[in-house]
Structure 1
Amino acid sequence: METENNITGRRALLAGGGTIAFGGAVAYFASRSESGGQEYVPDTFHTSEETTGFGVELAGRPIAGDADAPVDIYYWTDYLCPFCKQFETETLPDVGLDYVDAGQARIITLSYPNIGEYSTPSAVWGRCVWEQVADTDPAAFWRWHGAAFDAQSESGHDWADEERFTSITEQTEAVSVADVDACRQDRGDAIRESIDTDIATAQSARIQGTPGFVLYNRESDVAGKIVGAQPYDNFADALDRVREA
């Protein structure tokens, strides 16, 4: 995927106004063997019912990190997206350690189903897993989340179906398949509406694919955009610039 990095005022970003490039907008195709291939599980979590200054609705979305962290990382993803898996294995573990676990940023996982037929159902699975464990064992969501990306097939997106996601859920400690299925039945329509909201927010920031990111300094109202599976150095540079703006 072609990558794009920009920093701008929040209102300009939403309006499609002028931007200042982060620099180094290069595609990143490092193999898993070039990293530790770690699965990131955050140290801290919280829930929120607020809508942020950038216009992102937080209710029902997985949030990792300190509620008082100065920078929000809005992360639009699709469980069928191979570039998202690349970000998860190559970049997220170090970003999580150096920024999220260190209290400098919090990451909000948002849905942007755009790859295949099972993209939206898989997003509903993820939201329902979070709803079941957010108050009791939020780390279980991230274990499930990592397992979902690990299940990706190199041959395409046909691997994703009800049987595969049921198996992922059954094998994730502290996640009840029965409870998740009940959520999918009872709350599926509402969750799909919230996913539509995530997509609309992404598109207003001119993000049209996954993985896509907006980095938002809540105090200064400055935002930066990153698109694509960027290496850690690019991501850290962008975070530092937004944090210091």
Structure 2
Amino acid sequence: MARELSRRRALAAGGSILAFGGTVAYVATRSGSTGRYVPSEAHTSEATTGFGVSLDGRPIAGSSDAPVDIYYWTDFLCPFCAKFEAETLPTIGTEYVDTGTARLVGLSYPNIGAYSDPAAVWSRCVWAQVAASEPTAYWRWHGAAFDEQSSGTEWADEETFADVTARTEGVPLAAVEDCRQSRTDALQASIDADVAAAQQSGIQGTPGFVIYNREADAAGTLVGAHPAENVADAIERVLAA
């Protein structure tokens, strides 16, 4: 019911969610990086949002009171995601997430290579260990994992993700490994739910975004490594709904 309501009140006419700049927009971003983004605040939640996205077990950056949700589907093997992480997210994080305007919800959409699903499980297990005590540690791990990305997909393996986990301050490798051994099936089900939610919103690749004004129940989508000004424009448009 919540999803039907949000679609009826979405920004586009005809009951569909507005796709800012088109449904597929793998565009070149500006050269240069401002460094990996680590939020000033992060939190955990067991809720399901008005848009129908489960927050349980998903990493969240920003204030729980932020009026806008940014649902961010990603794959650690995705080169366009790496571009977004390096060139766009630091600006959006600083100007919208850290200021209390938006909260960023990390969702999984493994679709690039054989290690995409295991990488998503690593991510969920890292979050499970730090969410209650030191949630920003997850985002340090998240950025360090993207720092490992190189051409192709052969770089992604158990050794690489174990090394990233071991050297990320505040993330206990042994506990993460225990989680991977005992909870992979349950976590894979939640990852599959993320993919289903993306596809129901018209997102077929990564990085993909739904930007949702919780109070107005209005939403728009973006797909691709958009520059910061495109993402900012999308946020402002749902804020004005």
Residue number in structure 1 paired with 2:68: 71
Match of 2:56 among 56, 59, 69: 59
Structure 2 length-normalised TM: 0.91
User: Structure 1: how far apart are the matches of 2:133 and 2:16?
Assistant: 44
Is 1:93 aligned to 2:86, yes or no? no
Residue number in structure 2 paired with 1:174: 170
User: Structure 2: how far apart are the matches of 1:157 and 1:208?
Assistant: 20
1:207 deviates by 0.5
Q: Go from structure 1 to structure 2 and tell me whether the alpha carbon gap of 1:20 and 1:50 turns closer, same or farther (over 3 Å shift).
A: closer
Residue number in structure 1 paired with 2:214: 218
Total equivalences in the alignment: 232
User: Structure 2: how far apart are the matches of 1:182 and 1:237?
Assistant: 42
Residue number in structure 2 paired with 1:190: 186
1:55 deviates by 0.4
1:36 deviates by 3.3
Question: What does residue range 1-245 of structure 1 map to in structure 2 within 5 Å?
Answer: 10-12=6-8, 17-18=15-16, 20=18, 22-23=20-21, 27-30=26-29, 34-154=31-151, 156-245=152-241
- Given that 2:29 and 2:225 are in contact with CA atoms closer than 8 Å, whether structure 1 keeps it comes out as no
Q: For 1:90, give the aligned amino acid.
A: E
Q: For 1:212, give the aligned amino acid.
A: G
User: Structure 2: how far apart are the matches of 1:199 and 1:94?
Assistant: 26
Please give the per-residue CA displacement for 1:113-161, whole angstroms capped at 9, x wherever unaligned: 000000000000001001101111111111110011010012x011101
RMSD of aligned alpha carbons:
1.7
The percent of aligned pairs where both chains have the same amino acid is 61
User: Structure 2: how far apart are the matches of 1:59 and 1:51?
Assistant: 8
- Secondary structure of the structure 2 residue equivalent to 1:226: strand
Please give the per-residue CA displacement for 1:6-37, whole angstroms capped at 9, x wherever unaligned: xxx83156xx9446554488543236xx3334
Structure 1 length-normalised TM: 0.90
User: Structure 1: how far apart are the matches of 2:149 and 2:240?
Assistant: 37
Q: What residue ranges of structure 2 are gaps of 5+ in the alignment?
A: none
User: Structure 1: how far apart are the matches of 2:108 and 2:75?
Assistant: 6
1:77 deviates by 0.3
Q: Go from structure 1 to structure 2 and tell me whether the alpha carbon gap of 1:218 and 1:205 turns closer, same or farther (over 3 Å shift).
A: same
User: Structure 2: how far apart are the matches of 1:110 and 1:182?
Assistant: 22
1:171 deviates by 1.1
- Secondary structure of the structure 1 residue equivalent to 2:43: coil
Q: Go from structure 1 to structure 2 and tell me whether the alpha carbon gap of 1:161 and 1:35 turns closer, same or farther (over 3 Å shift).
A: same
User: Structure 1: how far apart are the matches of 2:90 and 2:126?
Assistant: 21
- Secondary structure of the structure 1 residue equivalent to 2:230: helix
User: Structure 2: how far apart are the matches of 1:124 and 1:137?
Assistant: 19
User: Structure 1: how far apart are the matches of 2:16 and 2:93?
Assistant: 30
